Amino acid sequence: MSEIPGDLKFNKSHEWARIEDGGLVRVGISDHAQGQLGDLVYVELPEIGSSVKAGGAAAVVESVKAASDIYSPVSGEVVEVNETLNDKPETINEDAWGEGWIYVVRISDRAELDQLLDAGAYEELVENEDH
């Protein structure tokens, strides 16, 4: 598994959040999560302009094996979605931390960020899951 980027924050359910300029937060799933899911074949993206809630289902990723909800790490309005995933859902398998991002939210409550795990805590969570 590739190293967990130190600038990311995490849900216990394996979504990551990257804080960007202008109150934007980019969301994806961890490399560990894509490995567990296996080959992804379909991603149901949220609609631009829709609002998502922290902990609420915002998108769906489907692997050959199963469909999984993606729970938003933060609340806010969806301002951008990764259209590449419509044709190349496997981008998440190939680069979960980067090109495989899913959507970008304009965050409505910055305090929610404090509720998320940092990279070290997430790494510990994954290690405990593996054993």
Q: Which residues of this chain interact with other proteins, rule CB under 8 A?
A: 38-39, 41-42, 44, 60, 62, 64-67, 86, 93
Q: Which is nearer to other proteins, 59 or 116 (CB)?
A: 59
Work out how close the CB of 86 gets to other proteins at its nearest, in angstroms, rounded to a whole number: 7
Work out how close the CB of 108 gets to other proteins at its nearest, in angstroms, rounded to a whole number: 25
Q: Which is nearer to other proteins, 41 or 121 (CB)?
A: 41
Q: Where are the beta strands (DSSP E) in the chain?
A: 9-10, 15-19, 24-29, 40-44, 51-52, 57-63, 67-71, 76-81, 103-107, 117-118
